[in-house]
Amino acid sequence: MLIRDLGIIPADDSLASAAPTAPPIEIGNFSRRGFMATSGILVIGLSLAGCAPGEEARLDDAAVAESPLTGVKGGDATPALWISITDTGIVKVTCHRSEMGQQVWTSMAQIVADELEADWDDVEIVQALGHPKYGDQNTDGSRSVRFNFHRLRVAGAAMRTMLEQAAAERWDVYPAQCKAQQSRVINTVNNDSLAFADLAEGASKLAVPAETDIRLKARDEWRYIGKPIASVTVPRIVKGDGAYGMDVERPGMVYAVVARPPQVFGKTGVVNDVATLAVPGVLRTVRLPNAMPPAAFNSLGGVAVVASDTWAAIQGRNALDVEWLDGPNADHDSDVYRAAMEDTARQPGKVQRNRGDAIAALASAEQTLVAEYYAPHLAHAPMEPPSATAEWKDGKLECWACVQDPQTTRSTLAAVLSVEADDITVHATWLGGAFGRKSKPDFVVEAARISREIGKPVKVIWTREDDLQHDYYHSVSAQRFEGVLDENGKCTAYLHRSVFPTISSTFVPGADNPSAGEMGLGATDTPFDVPNLRIESGKAPAHLRIGWLRSVSNIYHVFGVQSFAAELAHAAGRDQKDYLLDLIGGPRLIDPNAEGADYDNYGGDLEEYPIDTARLAQVTKRAAAMANWGRVLPDGHGLGIAVHRSFLSYVATAIEVVVDAEGNLTIPGVWLAVDAGTVVNPKHVKAQMEGGTLYGLSNALYGEISAKKGAVVQSNFPNWRVMRMAEAPRSFEVEIVESTASPAGVGEPGTPPAAPALANAIFAATGKRYRSLPILGPNGRRLSLDDSQDS
């Protein structure tokens, strides 16, 4: 998520002057086990040939410093930062974002290689180190392509221009008579050609062109952008190549697991490690400092068990006898907390956006509708739990970890450990899923602390129990909606109150009011054409670590907004899809700031990325048409629909459910339409829509994190259930709307419409309205089909 852009945590400019500490690592070309032994051997930059075989020449520092491309839209587009060409013709593209299954390696390479005119078979990916020279490296917020599309095009085109110029000098012709094509430059006068590798040394001696002297390709010239190019990582994953956090090995490395206080800010009391030290393979224990507010990205305290292997460390932890001392959250109980939040939602709150006078309209209305919705805390639960390896040598720290943001990892380590950032190197491995969890590097801090204490490289392993019970949880929420219907069923007043513990509480002690940024994720950006509209927020103190999870506040806000839209339709006696389109209203551009909101538009400019109701309506109509909306359905079948704009993309989802007489639920089909602006790889956009929807459905059906006496109850998949293969939709269709608009996000927008579309479909099939998530719960197998309309 755009956490700094949303004002949830402060910007950190402390690394602005830091210098590179080591070259980037190339993950893809090594076996997992061989990867770490050979890391750090490759070079960055516009490497250009003329060296010994397999080596690369480099653009000198002075040439880099003189680049006129450091300030283009998106950041530094100097070719040296992103592209290198070996003397054997390999084109190496540096990816500064983390690869976690979203195929960012492939997409970034497509953008650069297209403008460069590189042959795709010549392209290899290099993973960048965490360093400020790359600009923002936080692989969060569905923004890797959006933030970097233009500057990577410019970088590729600049390199192409330099290679063409080098060829022109070689042939003594005009640069306009030279044309790059598939890793060669063609002489259009006589059809001679030279390979990029043959021109690289000459190009390295040329000045980097200004952006005004670079020609970007027209859309109809794109060779790779917009094409369904296969993933460059999946074949390697299948073969076991590449390295995840769990795969890292270092000479002399030991392993550690940590026993942490069950409560946030609980403390470690008396420790008896006699039985632990008797476990074969256990080497020692290390007491970590107690956590203090704010949690930030620091470690949670506790006791580390260090051993010669993971199994011994886990068994040693099981034998550990620790007295845990209560902290300030010892009395936290999810049921009590829910009741308090719901009570707050029934009271007037802080006005976040206002149009007309919804309060007066509600007070004088003859027909009103009131509904309350609840969504619990959620855990990220990525397939690969957190893992980090740390090694200290000569006062310098080197880390390998499955992190989404190696720069923040580096700055966090520097601050926590009182070490200069220049003395810290962070390698981002591949990530076995993340969903936002691995942008918080507390697990890397643990590894660094333990390694410094014991004087050896150490890998810290989190088990699934660690992952579920010590997460940065997606926020719990209570929402209240009130609407006024006129004599024709039209909604004339709309009130939405949202109460949840804010992410800001993780960084600012005592923060208890939702930030404007969080409210802008599905609440203050409500697109409804209602004359009286009011959005409010209420206070809620946090008792767990709150963090961002895939689509963040959109999850609970859209569940409420789109469910309530369907409830309004039902109260008006209207079809839910038709009523939803009426609520959206006619084509127009919306600026929530004009109605008192503090809306940041996901960090995008409202001129470039307006809230466009025409695009919202278009995807709604497309998803409905794909689902053959309006067809006669058999008994027990129901169709539901929901639509939302998030991360600057527009997504509508229609879902069909079947509920039998015993309450067994199946999902025959899902139909999704997405308008994400310019799409780099439609194959991967479809995969993200499918994955995001399944993630949303799984959490809507089963996801719930709860606490008793300040400690999280759930511990593993028996009581943190996820959707299984047999429960997934039988059919899933995705349609991408053709668009020339600027690229928008795709990693998260598929998630928010899933829960309300599902709930609306269940209501259509059964007449029962589910306003509280999860719908089934971890032990649920069947829907409860009693007469309650408030489940």
Q: Summarize pLDDT for 538-552 with one digit per residue, the tens.
A: 999 999 999 999 999
Question: Of 82-96, 423-437, 684-698, 768-782, where does mean pLDDT reach its minimum?
Answer: 768-782
Same structural domain for residues 426 and 478?
A: no
397 inside domain: yes
Read off the pLDDT of each residue in 701-710 and give the average, rounded to a whole number: 98
Of 432, 461, 490, the residue at which a domain comes to its end is 461
| Domain enclosing residue 696, as ranges | 365-378+472-766
425 inside domain: yes
Compute the C-alpha angle 731/734/740, nearest 5°.
175
Read off the pLDDT of each residue in 641-645 and give the average, rounded to a whole number: 98
Same structural domain for residues 440 and 501?
A: no
Average pLDDT, the chain: 92
What residues have CB less than 8 Å from 90, skipping those under 6 apart?
122, 124
Can you give the CATH number for the domain in which 62 is found?
3.30.365.10
Query: Residue 30: is its pLDDT beyond 50?
Result: no
Q: How confident is the model at residue 360 (pLDDT cuts 50, 70, 90)?
A: very high
Read off the pLDDT of each residue in 646-668 and give the average, rounded to a whole number: 97
Same structural domain for residues 373 and 394?
A: no
418 inside domain: yes
Q: Cα Rg for the chain, rounded, in angstroms? A: 27
* pLDDT of the residue at 787: 55
272 inside domain: yes
Contact 683, 224 (CB under 8 A): no
Between residues 698 and 31, the one the model is more confident about: 698
Read off the pLDDT of each residue in 303-318 and give the average, rounded to a whole number: 98
> How far apart (Å, rounded) are the C-alpha atoms in residues 263 and 290?
12
Express each pLDDT in 114-137 by its tens digit. 999 999 999 999 999 999 999 999
Same structural domain for residues 399 and 544?
A: no
Read off the pLDDT of each residue in 8-22 and give the average, rounded to a whole number: 35
701 sits in which H/E element: helix 682-702
* pLDDT of the residue at 386: 98
321 inside domain: yes
352 inside domain: no
Query: Residue 89: is its pLDDT beyond 70?
Result: yes
Read off the pLDDT of each residue in 700-717 and give the average, rounded to a whole number: 97
Express each pLDDT in 184-219 by its tens digit. 999 999 999 999 999 999 999 999 999 999 999 999
343 inside domain: no
Same structural domain for residues 663 and 601?
A: yes
Same structural domain for residues 289 and 228?
A: no
Structure tokens at 226: 């917009």
Query: Residue 65: is its pLDDT beyond 80?
Result: no
Express each pLDDT in 264-307 by its tens digit. 999 999 999 999 999 999 999 999 999 999 999 999 999 999 99
Q: Is 16 helix (H, G, I), strand (E, B) or coil?
A: coil
Same structural domain for residues 101 and 55?
A: yes
Of 461, 485, 502, the residue at which a domain comes to its end is 461
Same structural domain for residues 409 and 500?
A: no
* pLDDT of the residue at 42: 25
Tokens 């306009």: give the residue.
Answer: 176
Domains held by the chain: number: 3
Same structural domain for residues 182 and 112?
A: yes
High-pLDDT (> 70) share of the chain, %: 91
Can you give the pTM of this predicted structure? 0.92
> How far apart (Å, rounded) are the C-alpha atoms in residues 765 and 761?
6
Of 403, 433, 461, the residue at which a domain comes to its end is 461
Same structural domain for residues 581 and 710?
A: yes
- Report DSSP state, residue 86: -
Compute the C-alpha angle 447/450/454, nearest 5°.
135
695 inside domain: yes
Q: Is 665 helix (H, G, I), strand (E, B) or coil?
A: strand
Same structural domain for residues 178 and 194?
A: yes
Beta-bridged to residue 161, according to DSSP, are none
Q: How many CB atoms lie within 10 A of CB 269?
A: 11
Same structural domain for residues 449 and 576?
A: no
Read off the pLDDT of each residue in 748-771 and give the average, rounded to a whole number: 98
Q: How confident is the model at residue 780 (pLDDT cuts 50, 70, 90)?
A: confident
* pLDDT of the residue at 242: 86
Q: How confident is the model at residue 791 (pLDDT cuts 50, 70, 90)?
A: low
Q: How many CB atoms lie within 10 A of CB 607?
A: 8
Query: Residue 60: is its pLDDT beyond 80?
Result: no
Position 432, amino acid: G
Express each pLDDT in 383-396 by its tens digit. 999 999 999 999 99
Helix then strand then coil, % of the chain, to nearest 5: 30, 25, 45
